[in-house]
Amino acid sequence: MDIRMAGVTKIFEPDIVALEDIYLNLDRGEFVYLVGATGSGKTTLLRIITREVIPSRGQIVVARRNLRSLRASQLPYYRRELGVVFQDYKLLPHLSVLENVAFVLETIGAPSRVVKDRASTVIDQVGLWRLRDHYPQQLSGGEQQRVAIARAMVNSPSIFLADEPTGNLDLHTSEEIMQLLLSINAAGTTVIVATHDQYLVDAYRQRVVELHQGRIKRDEERGRYFVDGEL
C-alpha cells in the first residue's frame, strides 16, 4: 500500500473543517482522480500528502512513512519521493524552462552533468525542447503546465500529485496533459489528479474519489462512477 489514510480530519483555525474522517488506500502504481466542487478539500488532501498540512486527527502513512511522526530532518528526503504539480504551477519567473527544471536537481545536490542530462531528457519528454530557453511568461498556459509537470517528474518520483493540471486549459491541451500523466503512471508511478474537469473523468475511466464538503462521497473503480455520476 503506497498511501494509507485512516480517519484523517483537518480543521483549519478557527473552525473550518476542510477534511473529515477520510479513509483512503492507494496501491503502488494506481491512478486516481480526486474530484469535487471548489472548496471540497481536494487541495488540502494533496497538501496532507506533501506534509504541508498536518491532520488534526487521524493517521496517514505514505511510502511506509508515518507523516504524523515524521522527523523534520527526514521531511526533505520524503519530499524527494514525490512529484507535485501545483495548482498555481509555482514556476520561477526569472529562470528559463531548462533552469526551472534543473533547479530541482541542483537543489538536492545532483552533480551538474546529471542535472543537465536529466533535465534535458524530461523537457524533451514533455515536448518543450525547442522552448527550453524561454521564460515562463513567454509560454502559453499549457506549456507552463508542461514545465510544471517536467519539474515534478525530474527526480523520478514514486508518487505523482497534480492539482487541477487542466484547470484553465482548452480541451485539446487538456487531453495532451492527461496523456502525459497517464504515461507517467504507465511507468509505475502512483498518480493522483485532483480535478473538477468532468470531461476528463468521463473520458479516461479510472478510479474516482469524490469529495463533498470534506468527506468522501464516493470511491469507485473505473467507469462505474460514470454511470451514476452527478457532478
Partner 1 sequence: MASFRYALRDTFRLIFRHWGLSILTLITAVALFFLLGSSGLFSLNLKSLVADVEDDLVINVFMKAGEDASSLVEAMQDVGFITDLKVISPEKGLELLRAKLGNQAKAVTLLGENPLPWNVQIQVMKADFVTPLVRDLMSFPSVEEVVYAGQLAEKLAQASLVMNRVSIAVLILAITITALVLYNTVKIAIYSKRGEIEVMLLVGATNTSIALPFVLQGMLLSTFGALISVILLAGAYQYVSVMLETTLSFLILIADRLLLMRFYLILIGTGMTLGWLCSWFAVHRYIAEASCPE
Ligand X SMILES: Nc1ncnc2c1ncn2[C@@H]1O[C@H](COP(=O)(O)OP(=O)(O)O)[C@@H](O)[C@H]1O
Among 3, 5, 8, 42, the residue binding ligand X under the rule CB under 6 A is: 42
Task: Give Cβ neighbours of residue 149 (< 8 Å, ≥ 6 apart).
Answer: 85, 126, 162, 165, 177, 180, 181, 184
Our finding on whether 12 is near ligand X (CB under 6 A) is: yes
Our finding on whether 217 is near ligand X (CB under 6 A) is: no
User: Which of Mg ion, partner 1, ligand X, none has residue 51 at its interface (CB below 5 to 8 Å by kind)?
Assistant: partner 1
Stretch that binds partner 1, among 48-56, 58-66, 119-127, 223-231 (CB under 8 A): 48-56
CB of 50 to ligand X, least distance (A): 13
DSSP bridge partners of 81: none
Our finding on whether 107 is near partner 1 (CB under 8 A) is: yes
Distance CA 116, CA 106 (A): 10
CB of 78 to partner 1, least distance (A): 7
CB 100 within 8 A of CB 151: yes
Among 3, 43, 89, 155, the residue binding ligand X under the rule CB under 6 A is: 43
Q: Report how far apart, in Å, the C-alpha atoms of 182 and of each of 44, 186, 188 are.
A: 23, 6, 10
Cell of 75: 521531511
Among 37, 54, 186, 187, the residue binding partner 1 under the rule CB under 8 A is: 54
Distance CA 176, CA 159 (A): 20
Stretch that binds partner 1, among 102-110, 132-140, 162-170, 189-197 (CB under 8 A): 102-110
